Amino acid sequence: MRSEEVTKGYQRAPNRSLLRSLGLTRAEMERPFIGVANAFNTIVPGHVHLRSLAERVREGVAAGGGVAFEFGVIGICDGIAMGHQGMRYSLPSRENIADSIELMAEAHRFDGLVCIGTCDKIVPGMLQAAVRCNIPTVILTGGPMLPGFLGGEELSLIDVFEGVGKVAGGTMTEEALNELECCAMPGCGSCQGLYTANTMACVTEALGMSLPYCAATPAVDAAKLRLARKTGERVVALVKDGITPRKIVNARGIRNAIRVDMALGGSTNTVLHLLALAAEAGVPLTLEDFARIGAGIPHLSFMQPAGPHSMLALHRAGGIPAVLSRLKGELEENPTVSGRSIRTIAGKGTVRDEEVIRPVKNPVFPAGGLRILRGTLAPDGAVVKASGVDPSMWKHQGPARVFDGEDAAMDAILSRRIAEGEVVVLRYEGPRGGPGMPEMLSPTSALMGLGYRKVALVTDGRFSGGTRGPCIGHVAPEAAVGGPIALVRNGDEIRIDIGRGTMDLNVPAKELATRRKAWKPKGKKLTGVLARYARSAGQANTGAVPE
């Protein structure tokens, strides 16, 4: 055990003395040391309840024969950070989280880890830390929030975001929006639909890094406390058996995770995070892998925000094991932290609602919910949540309306200066140009709320998992490094074909060459974290991993 480097031999008497000051007994120093990385805080709704889960994890660790040491991890709420400068700090936090867990685990020679988190960048950062440290680890995701309720209808956060557009368009009063605001989010947990937090929870379970049923079990369900207890017990067993993350997070496991992501029609952010995780694990993975796998996996669950079903509905329908059961023939055998193989878990999964988790022969769409686009506007790729796009907009051709930043675009949208048929190009919001590749939920929700149906939005930034509509993100190369998106001008024709996976700027090559000679990168005055991130961030097609 690694902890013996701290506890064994007369030379370690000073180390043991410090451990004794914590109240540890000599017998406890003989047991596995388990670090409990807890992202609890009182600003993020998805994390405010994690203290109670950590208590059950510690009990489980003790019952399993280990000793738990809890430490804190930061967590940013993307919803609260949305629409202002705060959103630029969200993606950079992923690397901070991974680094902080590595620092604690390696410095204190933990034998295993339990990582407790819920929201968008926290769980990806924890997964990266797990494969980096490569000591036995279980991820415990905190669970989704229950739906809100008003006027006989279930609500989620996206209803509030889209309500802003409705008020701007005159179809909703501010009083009605206030009532919606007060009812939409009834308590703790991650936002109710298949947005990034919940998609990453589903991906983590499909990857085999959390226990079965963890992803969809609601935050307030007592079953989540039982899962926390089992997680604590299970990590000690993994230490004793020598089962490390890289035995699970391999090429097979990552492909299985992509299959489940495609079947659910999850957030485009999972592409970014799985690319980063694969790089951390030393597993080759490209956008072409997502395209290839997605082409063979049907989209089975029509989840919010594009569809009607919440995470609560997915939980009641059988959770991720039920989804795995639908995909059993496509899954590659691989171990999981539960001790059971992924196919064994799939074999025991039961679909309890075929409207929520459809049969393979009756899918929402015949191919996966995420699509990769390439073309002259995005030579290195772009990503769209095809499951959230009306079929009438899978093929679109229109003039560009160009904005160098989110604020200018938002002002034009809310003042109705956007015309149906246009392609809004929102640039200089990529990993380096943003910096931090901020999410664009406010503009996309405003377009939906205002009733636009024939407007596409293209950006080198990201979209929230709550985005729906023809919104294409992760354009690479980004504008800040001179990608073609930097050369687009108002009125240029852009052609999008989601079915064929293409997105082209219909401007002659000679004209683009002339524009490139005149192009100069836009500089921003940056300090601190954002300055460091802007200097090192990679492109979206490689996971925006710092270089």
Instruction: Give the Cα separation of 411 and 420 in Å (integer).
Output: 16
Rounded to whole angstroms, what are the CA distances from 211 to 208, 218, 431?
A: 7, 14, 33
- 445 catalytic, yes or no? no
**Ordered alpha helix ranges (H), 269-414:** 269-281, 287-295, 311-316, 319-326, 342-348, 406-414
- DSSP for 407-433 reads HHHHHHHHTT---TT-EEEE-S-STTT
The answer to whether 372 touches 500, Cβ cutoff 8 Å, is: no
List the catalytic residue out of 100, 338, 464, 536. Answer: 464
**CA dihedral angle for residue 178, residue 182, residue 188, residue 192, rounded to 10 degrees:** -60
**Ordered alpha helix ranges (H), 137-268:** 157-169, 174-183, 196-207, 222-241, 251-264
The answer to whether 530 touches 89, Cβ cutoff 8 Å, is: yes
Which residues make beta-bridge pairs with 385? 370
* Dihedral over Cα of 361, 364, 366, 371: its sign: negative
The answer to whether 426 touches 461, Cβ cutoff 8 Å, is: yes
The token pair at 469 is 């509509």
The token pair at 232 is 């604590």
Rounded to whole angstroms, what are the CA distances from 16 to 5, 21, 109, 290?
A: 11, 9, 13, 49
CA 409 to chain centre: 24
Q: Which residues are catalytic?
A: 464
